[in-house]
């Protein structure tokens, strides 16, 4: 699933813009009748429909997006694909009334070969139907009879704590390739002394043989190159880069890698270029090693979320958010709770952010075994699709295959310590999660794999993880307003987990809801002072423990959640920035720890 690019062998036409949109709650529209007499209204794509119209806020049923486009005649003879960057949750794509494919699951791209459906002499009608119904057998799930979210009495009835935005969330593009083309590239990097070792696996779309080249350049200058010999459509080569400049969070240096597949009798030449960062990631004892050196993942859990655009790709927001994260001194985030846009991942490569990349398996209800087979199928598909999409990003340093799977009888974050007795009772859940961890490892042996666990959940669910990732709310959902006791509980739990597993620990969530502008002395829950104290307490406890390999605050910014007694104005207010990105007091605390503490101490002048 390579990102579509424009070069002299490939073309790309971005169909982002204002589309025609109509709801179809009874599913009565047929693609042959489109556009028809519907009540079409303008709808931006990418963008969630829920925030563009007040009457669509709660609508999760079927909606149709329609757009007409010409396809350049100069493209004739090439293969033409239609690619959707993501659509939540289920999408079907039609070209001139012909169904070209469908896709289940949000947040990941899908593409169909539409060459045979194209009208080269005139306009082409593209229609995409999308629905985001909440169902118990989907991932993530909704409309559960006994969801662990029931304590929030949520509307809509999700099992998770964010708004289930619906629609086309990332660009729809047409792109072309030659008949025989480079369908996939896998780039694996290693370090040998001061040399970089880059292994390239190039896969054609057909079992063709033939020749090609691969070249690595730095600032336009060639640093390594070799020939490719495709056999059965596959070529694997190794490049060596003497005195390589390694990619890291402090020096995110990127090379350009270009693969060329020579043309044949029935196909022109193809070429594909992607950015490559030479780096290694390993886990050793209580440390995560980037290029052999210990690194801490400091930053956030986030959401793709903003007024009006909803979960839709919002490029200025991406730039702004990276700037704000840098300002706090962060070097990392988790793509909670679903893979983020490809543009986000490209920014992470470029800006030097260390990413924990997560599939949409949030709040899997592990007491509900009846729905296991369907959910496992989806989780495996999402793992496959995420790794296929993101495997070449140096920024991605870890795969996460679940966030807070829920064991029987749990309320979100309501519990304290994990009780070892629940482990035996939760073996089916463990088997489910172990299967996901195994799949990620099978697909990519070069990155650590993890699942993010809920407070009070069975610790045995973390056994297979390379890094222990814990969401904990000592001092918020548990022991709210009692930061002194919370500090002791947190410290004790971190030490216990380290004793049991002997692996690096990342706190992937800790946070306190905070109404911006609400102050208190003494600091009480919901005030900016309380959030600042709560975060300071956590960072202090972590600083005393070398095995804590990262602290990711929940959340970077306030975000749209469900309506409930726990979510003021339908927002989760745990952001250190507001939803429109103004800092709360806590953002300054992060700077204190992550910028000032990290600043090099200036040597005092030596005086005689």
- Residues in contact with ligand GCB by CB under 6 A are 161, 337, 403-404, 412-413, 471, 509, 554, 572, 574
| CB contact at 8 A, 336 and 303 | yes
Shortest Cβ distance from residue 334 to ligand GCB (Å)?
10
Strand order in the sheet with 79-84: 12-14, 172-177, 79-84, 110-113
Q: In this structure, what DSSP letter does residue 340 have?
A: -
Out of 51, 344, 385, 509, the active site residue is: 509
Distance from C-alpha of 471 to C-alpha of 330, rounded to nearest angstrom: 18
Q: Which is nearer to ligand GCB, 60 or 469 (CB)?
A: 469
Buried b (16+ CB within 10 A) or exposed e, 29-56: bebeebeeebeeeebbbbbbbbbbeeeb
Query: Closest-CB residue for ligand GCB?
Result: 161
Out of 404, 423, 493, 528, the active site residue is: 404
Shortest Cβ distance from residue 489 to ligand GCB (Å)?
16
Shortest Cβ distance from residue 528 to ligand GCB (Å)?
17
Beta bridge partners of 403: 362, 452
Shortest Cβ distance from residue 154 to ligand GCB (Å)?
12
Shortest Cβ distance from residue 261 to ligand GCB (Å)?
43
Residue 545, helix vs strand vs coil: coil
Q: Which is nearer to ligand GCB, 554 or 594 (CB)?
A: 554
| CB contact at 8 A, 453 and 508 | no
Q: Which is nearer to ligand GCB, 391 or 584 (CB)?
A: 584
Helix axes 528-543, 483-501, angle to 10 degrees: 30
Distance from C-alpha of 364 to C-alpha of 368, rounded to nearest angstrom: 9
54 as an active site residue: the answer is no
Q: Which is nearer to ligand GCB, 259 or 364 (CB)?
A: 364
509 as an active site residue: the answer is yes
Q: Which is nearer to ligand GCB, 48 or 336 (CB)?
A: 336
Structural tokens at position 452: 């993010």
Q: Which is nearer to ligand GCB, 131 or 304 (CB)?
A: 304
Q: Give the strand pairing for 449-453 and 468-471.
A: parallel
Shortest Cβ distance from residue 10 to ligand GCB (Å)?
39
H-run or E-run covering 550: strand 548-554
What are the Cα distances from residue 435, in Å, to 137, 358, 360?
Answer: 18, 16, 16
Q: Which is nearer to ligand GCB, 223 or 412 (CB)?
A: 412
Distance from C-alpha of 149 to C-alpha of 141, rounded to nearest angstrom: 11
Cis omega (within 30 of 0) for bond into 89: yes
Distance from C-alpha of 352 to C-alpha of 303, rounded to nearest angstrom: 19
Residue of 66, 87, 238 whose CA lies nearest to 166: 87
Q: Which is nearer to ligand GCB, 413 or 550 (CB)?
A: 413
Residue 305 CB contacts under 8 Å (≥ 6 apart), including other chains? 162, 163, 165, 311, 557, 559, 560, 579
Active-site amino acid positions: 404, 509
């Amino acid at each position: 699933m390579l990102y579509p690019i424009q070069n002299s062998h490939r073309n790309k036409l971005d169909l982002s813009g204002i589309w025609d949109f109509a709801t179809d709650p009874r599913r009565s529209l047929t693609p042959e009748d489109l556009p028809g007499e519907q009540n079409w209204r303008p709808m931006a794509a990418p963008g969630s429909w829920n925030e563009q119209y007040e009457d669509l806020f709660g609508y999760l049923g079927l909606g149709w997006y329609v757009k007409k486009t010409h396809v350049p005649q100069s493209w004739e003879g090439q293969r033409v694909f239609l690619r959707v960057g993501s659509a939540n949750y289920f999408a079907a794509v039609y070209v001139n009334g012909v169904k070209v494919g469908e896709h289940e699951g949000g947040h990941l791209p899908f593409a169909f070969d539409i060459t045979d459906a194209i009208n080269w002499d005139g306009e082409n009608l593209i229609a995409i139907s999308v629905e985001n119904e909440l169902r118990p057998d989907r991932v993530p799930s909704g409309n559960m009879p006994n969801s662990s979210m029931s304590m929030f009495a949520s509307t809509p009835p999700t099992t998770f704590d964010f708004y289930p935005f619906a629609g086309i969330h990332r660009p729809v593009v047409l792109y072309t390739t030659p008949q025989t083309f480079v369908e996939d590239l896998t780039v694996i990097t290693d370090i040998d002394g001061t040399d970089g070792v880059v292994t390239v696996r190039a896969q054609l779309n057909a079992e063709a043989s033939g020749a090609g080249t691969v070249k690595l350049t730095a600032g336009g200058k060639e640093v390594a190159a070799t020939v490719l010999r495709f056999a059965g459509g596959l070529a694997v080569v190794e490049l060596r880069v003497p005195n390589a400049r390694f990619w890291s969070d402090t020096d995110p240096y990127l090379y350009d890698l270009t693969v060329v597949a020579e043309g044949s009798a029935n196909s022109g030449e193809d070429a594909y270029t992607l950015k490559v960062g030479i780096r290694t990631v390993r886990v050793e004892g209580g440390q995560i090693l980037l290029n052999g050196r210990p690194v801490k993942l400091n930053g956030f859990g986030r959401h793709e979320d903003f007024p009006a655009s909803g979960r839709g790709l919002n490029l200025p927001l991406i730039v702004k958010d990276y700037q704000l994260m840098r300002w706090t001194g962060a070097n990392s985030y988790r793509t909670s709770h679903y893979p983020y846009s490809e543009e986000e991942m490209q920014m992470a490569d470029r800006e030097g952010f260390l990413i924990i990349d997560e599939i949409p398996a949030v709040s899997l209800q592990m007491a509900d075994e009846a729905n296991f087979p369907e959910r496992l199928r989806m989780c495996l598909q999402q793992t496959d699709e995420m790794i296929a999409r993101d495997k070449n990003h140096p920024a991605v340093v870890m795969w996460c295959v679940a966030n807070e799977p829920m064991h029987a009888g749990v309320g979100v974050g309501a519990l304290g310590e994990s009780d070892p007795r629940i482990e035996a009772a939760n073996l089916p859940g463990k088997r489910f999660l172990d299967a996901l961890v195994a799949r990620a490892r099978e697909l990519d042996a070069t990155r650590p794999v993890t699942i993010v666990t809920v407070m009070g959940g069975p610790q045995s669910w973390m056994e297979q993880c390379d890094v222990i990732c814990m969401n904990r709310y000592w001092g918020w959902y548990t022991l709210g307003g009692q930061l002194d006791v919370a500090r002791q509980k947190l410290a004790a739990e971190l030490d216990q987990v380290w004793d049991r597993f002997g692996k690096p620990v990342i706190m992937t969530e800790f946070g306190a809801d905070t109404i911006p502008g609400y102050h208190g002395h003494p600091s009480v829950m919901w005030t900016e002072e309380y959030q600042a104290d709560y975060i300071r307490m956590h960072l202090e406890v972590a600083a005393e423990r070398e095995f804590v390999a990262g602290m990711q605050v929940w959340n970077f910014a306030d975000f749209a959640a469900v309506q409930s007694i726990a979510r003021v104005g339908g927002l989760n207010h745990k952001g250190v920035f507001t939803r429109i990105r103004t800092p709360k007091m806590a953002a300054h605390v992060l700077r204190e720890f992550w910028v000032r503490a990290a600043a090099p101490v200036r040597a005092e002048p030596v005086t005689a």
